[in-house]
Amino acid sequence: MSNPILIVKNLTKTYGDNVVFHDIDITVNEGDTDVIIGPSGTGKSTLLRCINLLTKADSGQIWLDGEEITVPGYDEDFVRQHIGMVFQNFLLFNHLTALDNVKIGLSKVKKLDDDQAERKAFQELDRVGLADRAQHYPGQLSGGQQQRVAIARALAMDPRIMLFDEPTSALDPELIGEVLEVMRKLALEGMTMLVVTHEMGFAREVSDRIIFLEKGSIVEEGSPEELFYRPKFERTREFLWKITELYGKKESED
């Protein structure tokens, strides 16, 4: 039996009268890469933010590594140390070099001493192939490089799971490949990942499960083969192939 790292149960979020999503159930097993897809505005980003408690869900429960993190008074900062998050627009700390972006969590949150933090930060940069950019500031890096630094920053905290919120959507087409390559490598290394993306090539090739979210609820979920070739709902097929057509071309050109 695989070991669930993340369990989400009946998660619901509303803004006023507007239901962002309701009664979402998701389980991500250790070492798995699960992909969430769906039209824009269906609450995918909000869902990720609710999972690492950046946004407060209205109701529902979340367990990380068997421990419920949605009980009142649970240490949210502690939770976020163990859930890595990568954002669409990178959000690197603008005043810090690539190395210091990765290092700051290690020295200020994990309280490693300077030598240890620096060594670990450098290793993580190397892991995303950017050891030679350690002393560059975000403003001196391409979007793809910035996103890879952001991934290294999250990895440095040794998270139990990594959340990716459309990590390639803000990138120029020619820079998408390098970021997907890093994510692919992570998946192969056994990192547990939950990825919101439109990159169907990545979803099909790397993911263990695809979750199709629309209008705030899960329409269908299953292995890539099931969803692409034997979907239960016509709507799933329609969406998947439309997205593949839209985003697939540039991938096959790579």
What is the bridge-based pairing of β-strands 193-196 and 209-214? unpaired
**Per CB under 8 A, which region of 20-28, 81-89, 195-203, 221-229 contacts another protein?**
81-89
- Closer to another protein at the Cβ: 45 or 168? 45
Tokens of 91: 């959000």
The least distance separating another protein from the CB of residue 191, rounded to whole angstroms, comes to 16
The least distance separating another protein from the CB of residue 64, rounded to whole angstroms, comes to 13
Nearest to 146 by CA among 81, 198, 89: 89
Q: Phi/psi zone of residue 215: left (φ > 0), alpha (ψ -120 to 50 degrees), beta?
A: left
Which residue in 95, 113, 252, 253 binds another protein (CB under 8 A)? Answer: 95
**Per CB under 8 A, which region of 63-71, 102-110, 181-189, 224-232 contacts another protein?**
102-110
Strand partners, 194: 34, 163
Which residue in 71, 94, 111, 115 binds another protein (CB under 8 A)? Answer: 94
Which residue in 46, 52, 145, 236 binds another protein (CB under 8 A)? Answer: 52
140 near another protein, judged by CB under 8 A: yes
Q: Is 8 exposed, middle or buried (0-12, 13-18, 19+ CB in 10 A)?
A: buried
CA distance 99 to 87: 18
Which residue in 20, 64, 92, 219 binds another protein (CB under 8 A)? Answer: 92
CA distance 114 to 17: 49
91 near another protein, judged by CB under 8 A: yes
Within 13 Å, how many C-alpha atoms sit on residue 192's CB side?
20
**Per CB under 8 A, which region of 31-39, 63-71, 79-87, 175-183 contacts another protein?**
79-87
**Per CB under 8 A, which region of 24-32, 152-160, 207-215, 245-253 contacts another protein?**
152-160
**Binding to another protein in span 154-183, by CB under 8 A:** 154, 157
Q: Which amino acid is at 146?
A: Q
Which residue in 13, 120, 127, 153 binds another protein (CB under 8 A)? Answer: 153
**Per CB under 8 A, which region of 19-27, 149-157, 187-195, 210-218 contacts another protein?**
149-157
- Site for another protein, rule CB under 8 A: 52, 54, 77-78, 80-82, 85, 87, 89, 91-95, 104-105, 108-109, 137, 139-140, 150, 153-154, 157
